[in-house]
Amino acid sequence: MKKYINTIQTIKKANLSPKGWKKNMVFVATCIIIIAASGCKKFLDKSPTFIVKENYYNNENDVNNGLAGVYDVLGKEEIYGGNYQLLLSVADDGFYSRSAYTFGPAVYNFDAADATVANFWRYLYEGIERANVFLASVDKVNMPQAAKDAAKGEVKFLRAYYYFLLVDNFGNVPLKTTPTASVNDVNIKAAPQREIYNFITKEMEEAEGLVKTATSIGFGGKVSKSTVRGILARVYLKMAGAPLKDQSKFADVLKWTRKIIYPDAGANEHRLLPSYQQIFTNYAGDKYDIGESIWEVELYGNRGGDFESGRIGNTIGLQCNDDAYGYSYGLVNTTKKLFDSYENQDVRKNWAIAPYQYTYSTVNTLITVTDSLNWTSAQIYNRNVGKFRRAYEKLKPKNRNYTPQNFPLLRYADVLLMFAEAENEVNGPSSLAKQALKEVRLRANATDITASISSYDDLKTAVRRERFLELSFESLRKFDLVRWDIFVSEMNQLGTAIQADAGATWSFGALAGKSVTSRNNLLPIPVLELSLNKGLSQNTGW
């Protein structure tokens, strides 16, 4: 890890009420900055607003601001603000649509010195350090105990989630749970993955008893009990698969998904939104629906003032050169495999895969292809990812490079599919597992296939396919393929398929899939971290 000095910039008041959370979370002003000591041997701050971290937490407002600072990391461009989705998009059966390969990680053409990978690591540890400082300080603050407990629960969960992203992407990493005491605290040995996962689940289970319910919060931008339960299920699902392959954890997946689907008391807080498309128009239009969207990354504004915007719909979206429509680079196109995997009547087909393009003459003209079923194989590769459409953004004027669109981290459909997968592993193809799968498919107007499922293998195949269709381009596909231990083979097959049927125009799209080897199950440890921390070793193959 880098040598860190922790400081806090000027703190502006953040309104953490449900109505004011998004518009008033002034992330830039509440950041706890982590500065690499390799760039300066001593820290001098001449600003009268400098606040030493040990002295900062004195009242409830300080706690709320510190809490906002821990959340801030989620929306960083290097995390869910844009780059992480781009890095993972090829696993979703998309491909990077620029032959020049200006973004190496998207085509698996990068090394351990890559800045995107380094910043991904850096900001996750920055979030962890902010959480460590918060948790070391909050107990001394005089404030209502219920509010303090909820804040502690959210921060404990977020710290664990940042570790989950680290261990899932990098494998063995340093496990640090106290604030940095000295710039010389750099040689921190990487902990084994199992130890990190055990820490994650312990922290999240403690957090579940502290945070509020989704209904009491009223929107998906803050961590609720349902958030914790659903992400715990995801963590246990990972532990059940590669590399740990601890199949006893499927029972834990069932435990935590059941708490969402079949609550012990009261009405179910969650259900599928009837319209699949509306899930994503809600994200674009700053509209909440906690029934479906259990947890989402909060992004807001047109990059004005201190608001944090992302690039959702700008990098991965419908290519468009006009700011009024919503400028998008359209960096990811979709494949024939994904197109053919949807049934023709499945509403997800022409939403995940954009059925139209923007073209221009003297006057901007929207070209709509209504009979997409007749597209040739090569033409299908022209189609952009369509889930995150800037046309539905309500905030004007639209910024060319940044958007206010939120990004889904946990949807109820995912919970249903995690339940179906785990139920099949524990109890076989039960009626409950089939019902969960059926709910997801019927919402999409897809054929009910449950009557034809008679074996464990049938349901296993069906659930895996449904996750591919339902959750495409939501940064979960590589997670699934790696834990199923089929990432390399699936990617290699995709590369071969693109080469065979994309035509000369898009043949370069095969590079990513054909480049994947077993080393790509994990990202490389950044070279700068290796040079600073002698307790780290590079991942195999890098």
Reduced to 3 states (helix: H, G, I; strand: E, B; else coil), residue 513 is helix
Q: Give pLDDT, residue 504.
A: 85
pLDDT 10s digits, 205-228: 999 999 999 999 999 999 999 999
Every domain range in the chain assigned CATH 1.25.40.390: 1-211+502-542
Strands 173-174 and 356-360: unpaired
Residues in the chain: 542
The pLDDT of 18-31, averaged and rounded, is 40
Q: Give pLDDT, residue 304.
A: 65
Of 29-38, 162-171, 263-272, 330-339, the least confident: 29-38
The pTM assigned to this predicted structure is 0.91
The pLDDT of 178-196, averaged and rounded, is 92
Q: Give pLDDT, residue 14.
A: 40
- Give me Rg for the CA atoms of the chain: 23
pLDDT 10s digits, 108-150: 999 999 999 999 999 999 999 999 999 999 999 999 999 999 9
Residue of 353, 364, 415 lying closest to 388 (CA atoms): 353
User: Is the distance from CB of 369 to CB of 465 less than 8 angstroms?
Assistant: no
Q: Give pLDDT, residue 104.
A: 83
Contacts of 130-133 spanning 24+ positions with Cβ under 8 A? 130/32, 130/66, 130/69, 130/70, 130/72, 130/73, 131/70, 131/155, 131/156, 131/158, 131/159, 131/162, 132/159, 132/176, 132/177, 132/178, 132/179, 132/180, 133/6, 133/32, 133/53, 133/66, 133/179
Q: At what angle do helices 431-443 and 456-470 cross, to 10 degrees?
A: 30
1-211+502-542 folds as 1.25.40
Of the pLDDT bands very low, low, confident and very high (cuts 50, 70, 90), residue 323 is confident
Of 39-43, 213-217, 360-364, 486-490, the least confident: 39-43
Nearest-10 Cα torsion for 279, 14, 228, 266: -80
The pLDDT of 460-489, averaged and rounded, is 98
User: Is the distance from CB of 126 to CB of 1 less than 8 angstroms?
Assistant: no
